[in-house]
Structure 1
Amino acid sequence: MTHIADDSAVAAGEAARRAPVPLPFPTRYRPAARARKHVVDWAGRMRLVNTDAERARLDSWNFENVVGCFYPDADGDAIDLLADWNAYLTLLDDQFDVTTGFEAPHVVHVILDMVLDVLYAVPGTNPHPGVQFCDALSDIMRRVAATGAGPVWLGRLRESTRLFFTAIQQQSIDHALGTPLDIPTLLSRRRADVGIQMMFDWNALMRGWELPVSISETVEFRRMHDALADVAVMINDVFSAYRERDQIGGTYSTVILLERGGASHDEANVEVRRLIQHALDNYLTAKGRIPALLDLMKVDAATRTGTVQHIADMESVIAGLELLYRNKSGRYDPEAARYSRSVPTHVADWGFREIATHRAAFS
């Protein structure tokens, strides 16, 4: 009887930890069925996954839901492109987990330099042919150019992607140095690595409208962005604390940071959920200033309509992220995570250490 009571308490605690995070945004979820098979096939062609176990792991991440939660307006070839882009970032990010042996700053530096070489190359060209993570990104950038994306949009994507990878490098440095972090510092570090700016950019491309830089770089809009980035980081931490602790080491998790400060997991979960609501309050305060800002800037009706739609799409991404992390992807499912730990990606096949050693010898 005692054992049953204990099991019930554990189940109740897990249910509380995986309860929905209340958000003042509607969810626009539209699953993209074709994405699931396509992304596994594409990753196989690009040699990003090389065994049946790796393909099964990638399939379990449910990319029909990734696209459906983040990009509900995508259709046709755009679904394939968005699925591949998100799979690429996720797989590459996982290579730098502290359990892989490839998180050393000098290795990360070399690999990310090569990624940026491809990112800023003429779309469709590859300065590092034959290297699978470069071949895959070159294929994506070729297809991005084929969408007719303008130079402003492409510049935004490159910059947000550069910041994403720079944040990964900073994580590797912090981990190697044992840098002490508090929650404000941790959030500021992770606003780029959570990747929401790239999601905002992709949704803008789907709509065929680019938010003017004169609006996106205002203090009010930056405050909105930073608040939503903080919300995204903490939603990730609420639903993947088990993964951060068991697979990555918990270096960059607000939940685990609080646990290390003496809080129980349940206490940390409650506190991070409180911080999410605080960040949402900051977002809504900044959003409330946008109509007056647009009046002051004397924007035309089309720009005002586009800005309002862009904000709605930003909110939709955050609502989709909460839904995905809570119950739409095996990547964030505790049972699937236990399976994933037994089937690591064959990072050695990506040649990271060999590439880093070779580049260092000729630098």
Structure 2
Amino acid sequence: MRPTQAAYPATRFRRLRSQDALRRLAQENVLTVDDLIWPIFIRDGAGIEEPIHSMPGVNRLSIDLAVRAAEQAASLGIPAICLFPYTDPSVKTAGCEEAWNPENLTNRCIRAIKAAVPGIAVMTDIALDPYNAHGHDGLVRDGIILNDETVEALVRMALVQAECGADILGPSDMMDGRIGAMRAALEAAGHRDVAILSYSAKYASAFYGPFRDAVGASGALKGDKKTYQMNPGNSDEALRLIERDLREGADMVMVKPGMPYLDICRRVKDAFGVPTYAYQVSGEYAMIMGAAEHGWIDGEKAMLESLLGFKRAGCDGVLTYFAPRVARLLRG
């Protein structure tokens, strides 16, 4: 688009900035509660609200309190929550068998939330790292992350989560071929309405550190994830990955992290016009909160500005730990 405008002074851009009413009328992008997905961390036990020190204001919640969080989200109009488990190290194995246990922490939490708050969409994480003794998103043999064997495990995990009532599956593993395998398995099992929000462009990023603390994966991780997560220097590759996942049956796609990769969000939306999301990851959250706690920035304004940036970049929604706080502000 090439805008047509008169020369100065017939055109004065400041006219439409001169008062609040005109600024609102001319605003191109708007953040609403409908744009929010709230990631929460869960753990075993009862009545537990355990602070995560690298993520100020975020806690691990036992299932009873996760249900209460889901009720809170629904009352605020937040359409979806996403579950991430802190798994007891005693059940972590090299084979990751706990990942598809119908009675694992995530699956019990899905059932509890759907029973108490049936109207809220429950999203889950599809990756093996919370259950892996090696801390990786895939099965490991001789230091190599196995692709095809991991896909088989992820399909088992996805089917159990769908059976437990998950509405949205979020494959975050970055294995090749996993979307097609999951979609085929879901269709065959009769889970035709379960949506897949694929972490299609997930970068090997330094911004995940606090999240790994939150799910207890930091100490277990051996090596790094660069053989399956994306190179931060690549952009064209992200479009190839998005196109592949869409062809394999993804309903929605995600870019992760968010703020350092807004250019990728914009390219994805422009190229495909599909429901596009970003994850404002733990490191992004921690930076804003840390600076705000030191008085270096206005945390509330920075939070809202950062989320509006996702909308401007073409995102249809954002996974953000700020979700309930933002929802309260937007609802007045």
Give the TM-score, by structure 2 length: 0.36
TM norm structure 1:
0.34
Higher helix residue share: 1
Q: Greater RCO between the two (CA within 8 Å, min separation 6)?
A: 1
Q: Which has the higher strand share?
A: 2
